[in-house]
Amino acid sequence: MANNLISFYKEGISMPQLNEGEYKVTLKSHTLVTTKPENPYITLEYVTESGRTLRENRFNQGFQIFISHLKQQLEMGDKEIGVQKFLDKLVADKTKFKLWVTKYTPANGGQTRSNFHLLEPRKITENTGITTTEINPTTTEVNPTANEIEDAI
């Protein structure tokens, strides 16, 4: 993999755009970055089944959510774990898990961005904004929003 301008220019491969959807991945690495001590973050690298490396940075709350959702996906939500040991074991064992990619463009325009999720994202209907989860092709379960719940009380 090309790590700098010269090697990327001479040997690099430009990958196709990442599509929305579900990917099976393994955790390649996790690194604490403290170049700005007031705003540390964790860099996570995943590898897809096709060999593509995906990278994201998680800050305080986002990293805690990442750990919680990953434990839930791996059916470990009720276990107390040491975070670094847990991540080290996932890397060493090449544990596979699902990663969902969604895309969004900021309201003010700009570049389309990708978000990574460890739990399947909810679908939002275009006309109502109400979140729905498809049960089967003929039935849909509606998950009310917080405002709808408050209005019902």
The helix/strand/coil state of 124 is strand
Domains of the chain: 17-120 (2.40.50), 122-153 (no CATH)
DSSP 141: E
For the stretch 135-151, pLDDT in tens is 333 333 333 333 333 34
Q: Which residues make Cβ contacts (< 8 Å) with residue 67, sequence separation at least 6?
A: 83, 86
Sheet holding 96-104, edge to edge: 53-58, 41-48, 21-33, 96-104, 113-117
One DSSP character per residue, 34-89 reads -SSTTS-EEEEEEEETTS-EEEEEE-HHHHHHHHHHHHHHTT-TTS---HHHHHHH
The helix/strand/coil state of 91 is helix
Given this model, what pLDDT does residue 97 score? Answer: 97
Phi/psi for 81 (5° steps) reads -135, 155
Structure tokens at 102: 């969604």
Q: What is the pTM of this model?
A: 0.71
For the stretch 18-74, pLDDT in tens is 899 999 999 999 999 999 999 999 999 999 999 999 999 999 999 999 999 999 999
Mean pLDDT of 7-19: 85
DSSP 119: S
For the stretch 96-136, pLDDT in tens is 999 999 998 888 878 888 899 999 988 765 555 544 444 33
pLDDT at 153 over 90: no
